């Protein structure tokens, strides 16, 4: 019996991991893209010994090796994110890439790995697919072409409900309202349990709008009616701190030295989701559509105290504006997946155990090496609350709840 089996035996169930990822196949964005749109949307080029995507005519270096072969193993930087007790540099953690594992790209291999890990079910999110919308944001039609092709590859290779265990999440952008509604209907017809979008303002052909602007109410009305869960997942949101932060967390020198930027503090994750969810609240999305369930995944929970404090302040300063106290609405309609290195006790205190979901970020380098390593973070909770966080909350969100 391995360690995962021992944990499952002690729990009495296998958890639902609400944050897993795949490493996209090389043709993930092009298999279903008409080649005539390649130059406008995405195509590949070779520079030196590596291949890179060319998006809207510009080479993207968001990922050092976007073919992911080789790739650093799952959880390679877990110790670093636990506070780096060994005192190693970030580059030392990344110095052992390996050939890509079958379970990173093949769903049957992933099922076997999930069995070994003690995981019952998982939500599956993009790696590259969360990065490229921003590069096309000035061309909404190109965004729709990209995601239409990408979502159909996802259905091919992973499925939206494979063997009722692996749940791929199609990507939606509100940049084109008619397309977003049609793509949502297609996702519903193909048994999608979640849809995923980046936590960012919406750039349409004519405007830059908040996500709960009434313009988008026809989309949100269909989400509300269908009962599908919307996941706001960390990605490239276009967030910048002009003058303070270059694109990467640290820059390397020829002698192995590195220089930090403000990005190393990961401020962008907390600020973008704070503003995204705060925007939904002040625009009263959940008052208009009370059946919408929103899960914040891989955005951490460090933003929560300040956001809830500000919502309380707004309710006091603008009496009568909110039909219900915004903090109560937030705690009813939003679920939080804290970073595994966050203090989950604080998150539960703010949200309640029934609105916190477990996610390992496997197999990303900043995730956990073994998903059930997370169980050690839950020692302070009783059996009932532990089960909610590890299994029941995600299970409920995974089931459509039509209005």
Instruction: State residue 166's pLDDT score.
Output: 98
Q: What are 400's two structure tokens?
A: 């459509």
CATH of region 3-22+106-397: 3.20.20.140
Closest-CA residue to 357 (of 75, 122, 97): 122
Per-residue pLDDT of the chain (403 residues; tens, 9 = 90+): 799 999 999 999 999 999 999 999 999 999 999 999 999 999 999 999 999 999 999 999 999 899 999 999 999 888 888 788 888 877 777 768 999 999 999 999 999 999 999 999 999 999 999 999 999 999 999 999 999 999 999 999 999 999 999 999 999 999 999 999 999 999 999 999 999 999 999 999 999 999 999 999 999 999 999 999 999 999 988 876 566 655 555 455 545 555 666 555 556 678 899 999 999 999 999 999 999 999 999 999 999 999 999 999 999 999 999 999 999 999 999 999 999 889 999 999 999 999 999 999 999 999 999 999 999 999 999 999 999 999 999 999 999 999 9
Helix (H) or strand (E) holding 61: none
| Domain regions of the chain by residue span | 3-22+106-397
The alpha carbon torsion through 154, 159, 161, 163 (nearest 10 deg) reads -150
Q: What are 393's two structure tokens?
A: 């909350």
Digit-coded pLDDT (tens) for 12-37? 999 999 999 999 999 999 999 999 99
Digit-coded pLDDT (tens) for 66-116? 999 999 999 988 888 878 888 887 777 776 899 999 999 999 999 999 999
CA distance 41 to 143: 8
Contact 37, 328 (CB under 8 A): no
Contact 42, 33 (CB under 8 A): yes
- CB-based contacts of 325-332 (< 8 A; 24+ apart in sequence): 326/281, 326/282, 329/281, 329/286, 329/287, 330/277, 330/281, 330/286, 331/355, 332/286
Closest-CA residue to 345 (of 397, 320, 296, 381): 381
Instruction: State residue 262's pLDDT score.
Output: 58
Q: Indicate the pairing of strand 293-297 with strand 229-233.
A: parallel
Contact 15, 391 (CB under 8 A): yes
């Amino acid at each position: 019996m391995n360690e995962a089996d021992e944990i499952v035996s002690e729990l009495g169930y296998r958890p639902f991991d609400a944050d897993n990822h795949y490493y996209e196949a090389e043709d993930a964005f092009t298999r279903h893209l008409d080649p005539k749109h390649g130059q406008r949307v995405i195509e590949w080029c070779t520079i030196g010994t590596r291949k890179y995507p060319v998006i809207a005519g510009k080479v993207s270096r968001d990922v050092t090796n976007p073919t992911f072969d080789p790739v650093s193993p799952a959880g390679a930087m877990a110790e670093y994110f636990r506070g780096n007790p060994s005192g190693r540099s970030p580059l030392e953690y990344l110095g052992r890439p390996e050939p890509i594992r079958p379970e990173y790209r093949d769903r049957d291999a992933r099922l076997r790995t999930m069995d070994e890990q003690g995981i019952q079910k998982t939500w599956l999110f993009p790696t590259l697919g969360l990065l490229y919308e921003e590069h096309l944001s000035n061309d909404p039609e190109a965004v729709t072409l990209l995601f239409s092709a990408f979502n159909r590859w996802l259905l091919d290779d992973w499925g939206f409900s494979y063997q009722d265990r692996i749940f791929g999440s199609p990507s939606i952008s509100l940049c084109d309202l008619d397309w977003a509604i049609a793509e949502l209907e297609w996702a519903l017809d193909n048994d999608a349990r979640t849809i995923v979008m980046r936590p960012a303002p919406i750039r349409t052909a004519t405007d830059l709008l908040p996500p709960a602007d009434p313009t988008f109410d026809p989309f949100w009305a269909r989400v509300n009616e269908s009962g599908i869960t919307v996941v706001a997942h960390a990605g490239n949101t276009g967030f910048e701190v002009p003058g303070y932060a270059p694109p990467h967390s640290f820059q390397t020198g020829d002698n192995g030295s590195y220089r930090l930027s403000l990005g190393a503090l990961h401020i962008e994750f907390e600020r973008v989701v704070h503003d995204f969810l705060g925007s939904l609240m002040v625009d009263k999305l959940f008052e208009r559509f009370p059946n919408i369930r929103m899960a914040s995944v891989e955005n951490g929970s460090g933003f929560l105290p300040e956001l809830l404090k500000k919502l309380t302040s707004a309710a006091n300063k603008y009496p009568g504006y909110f039909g219900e106290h915004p903090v109560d609405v937030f705690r009813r309609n939003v679920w939080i997946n804290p970073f595994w290195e966050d203090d989950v006790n604080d998150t539960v205190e703010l949200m309640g155990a029934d609105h916190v979901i477990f996610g390992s970020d496997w197999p990303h380098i900043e995730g956990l090496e073994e998903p059930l390593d997370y169980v050690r973070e839950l020692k302070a909770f009783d059996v009932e609350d532990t089960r909610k966080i590890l299994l029941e909350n995600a299970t409920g969100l995974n089931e459509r709840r039509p209005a």
